[in-house]
Chains A and B, each alone.
Chain A
Amino acid sequence: MLDNFYRYVVLNAGLLGQGLLVTLQVCVQAFVLGVVLAIAVSLLRVTGRIPRAIGTAYVEFFRATPVLVQLLWVNYVWPDLFGFPTTAMGAGVIALALQTSAYLAETIRAGIEGLPRGQLEAGRAVGMSSLQIVRRIVAPQVALVMAPALISQMAVVIKSSTLVSVIAIPDLMYAALKIVNEWFEPIEVLTSTAFLYFLLIFLISLAANRISDRFRARFGLAV
């Protein structure tokens, strides 16, 4: 078993490491794009009745479809429909970003609705414009509530990112399956890969919990 571990995992460490880098690359890009889209959708949802309906439909659609289905949909259908993405990498990033943005937009909405109405009314009463109210009263408080949610969403993105191997993005899962298909010795490679993913996601979840606790102690937030 140790022999096999050396032969299939240690000797292939370079391949697996490259896969891990691709995984992180996909996740970071998807996450950043997801945050930007989430903010855009949230702004859409507070601007008026029709934009709100569109934003809500967007959020509901992407929350209600499985990641794999979205991934295949973006990969096979979008190029035909919108003319992009042209690469598998692009499709993977976009699909994960769409999912992330829908979940985060929902968190932002909950954060905004959790704010006491009196604060907004007070802002208006002292003559602040809507933009000022958002910038000075809403955004800072929502950002505080969001911080732990953002980090745990990062863990979700990494989890979902295992699926991008399906559209031939050479991520960690892809590298592991490639080694398995080459040598037909799955035990050590797949167990190590599973453990690596576990460690990555576990540490991120732990960080999210820590930050959540600290924020609660420091700012008295009920996160």
Chain B
Amino acid sequence: MFARLGQSLDPALFWDYRATLLAGLVVNIGIFVASAMLASVLAVAIGVARTSRNRLLRGVSTLYAELFRNTPEYVLLVWAYYVLPLILSRMLAHKLAIGPVPAAILALGFAYSGFMAETVRAGLLAVPRGHREAALALGISHFDILRRIVFPQALRRMLPDALNQYVSLFKATSIVSLISVEDIMYQVSMINVEEMRPLPLYTGAALLYCAIIIVASQTIQALTRNWHRRGWA
């Protein structure tokens, strides 16, 4: 088995297609960055809403988080690609198309905003009540309390968890090939159609993802340990 693996994992195959594979990886990274930004912005808004004293706001934001946390990413992806443009077209009463890349960014961004809202909420709740009360006693406005006292502290607490969510998000970008975004898995499938050599190609893809994710999560672990030592995470 190992001989077979060693035989067919010849680097020349990957070298021949280096430009295509690299272009695919760049697409992955682009979608990752865009959806991570979307997810972060939404997550902060939803996370703050979930700790609000307004019952309606809390209810709606909880519903939002549960909805996106408990729906499979692939289902959201397909929904954003096929259904969302139709619904938007009907609502706006004129024809609208959403390309595969924006659909992928929307689907992954919304899916992960659900997970990350939970991280934000936990971070906000971890700030001692006394800090908030002290700020109120000093006459600082609610918005300023959130911005200058609660949020900076909460951010440090949620950083390790948020970074792990980003790693999961990067892993999830592999599914965008299924709505024909030309990412790395799409390119691997295309090359496979041409070369008919699934063994090296899919093994290579798995190893590539594995390497990227392990390096990222090890870096995060090292950073987190460092932060713990300094006492700010």
Asked if residues A69 and B209 are in contact (CB atoms below 8 Å), the reply is: yes
A166 touching B73 in the complex, CB below 8 Å, given contacts A64-B210, A73-B203: no
Which range holds the interface residue count of chain B? 35 or more
When distances are taken between beta carbons in the complex, the residues of chain A under 8 Å from B214 are: 60, 64
When distances are taken between beta carbons in the complex, the residues of chain B under 8 Å from A194 are: 71, 75-76, 79
A202 touching B70 in the complex, CB below 8 Å, given contacts A68-B174, A187-B87: yes
Asked if residues B70 and A77 are in contact (CB atoms below 8 Å), the reply is: no
Asked if residues B79 and A191 are in contact (CB atoms below 8 Å), the reply is: yes
Pick from B70, B86, B199: contact of A205, CB under 8 Å: B70
A197 touching B209 in the complex, CB below 8 Å, given contacts A66-B172, A80-B199: no
Chain A: which residue is nearest B4 at the CB level? Answer: A81
Q: Does A151 contact B (CB under 8 A)?
A: no
Asked if residues A186 and B82 are in contact (CB atoms below 8 Å), the reply is: yes
When distances are taken between beta carbons in the complex, the residues of chain A under 8 Å from B189 are: 72
Chain B: which residue is nearest A158 at the CB level? Answer: B72
Pick from B1, B78, B82, B205: contact of A73, CB under 8 Å: B205
Q: Does B198 contact A (CB under 8 A)?
A: yes
Residues 38-71 of chain B: 1 if any A CB is under 8 Å from the residue's CB, otherwise 0? 0000000000000000000000000000110111
Q: Does A84 contact B (CB under 8 A)?
A: no
When distances are taken between beta carbons in the complex, the residues of chain B under 8 Å from A124 are: none
Q: Does B178 contact A (CB under 8 A)?
A: yes
- List CB contacts (< 8 Å) of B141-175 with chain A: 171-172, 174-175
Q: Min CB distance, A184 to chain B, in Å?
A: 9
| Chain B binding surface SS class | helix
A202 to B206, CA, bound (A): 30
- List CB contacts (< 8 Å) of B63-120 with chain A: 66-67, 69-76, 78-79, 82-83, 86-87
Asked if residues B78 and A177 are in contact (CB atoms below 8 Å), the reply is: yes
Asked if residues A162 and B74 are in contact (CB atoms below 8 Å), the reply is: yes
A190 touching B83 in the complex, CB below 8 Å, given contacts A73-B205, A82-B1, A159-B73: yes
Q: Min CB distance, B217 to chain A, in Å?
A: 7
| Chain A binding surface SS class | helix
Q: Does A212 contact B (CB under 8 A)?
A: no
Asked if residues B202 and A65 are in contact (CB atoms below 8 Å), the reply is: no
When distances are taken between beta carbons in the complex, the residues of chain B under 8 Å from A163 are: 74, 175, 178
A110 to B66, CA, bound (A): 27
Asked if residues B82 and A69 are in contact (CB atoms below 8 Å), the reply is: no
Q: Does B213 contact A (CB under 8 A)?
A: yes
User: Using a CB–CB distance below 8 Å, which chain B residues touch chain A?
Assistant: 1, 4-5, 66-67, 69-76, 78-79, 82-83, 86-87, 171-172, 174-175, 177-178, 185, 189, 192, 198-199, 202-203, 205-206, 209-210, 213-214, 217
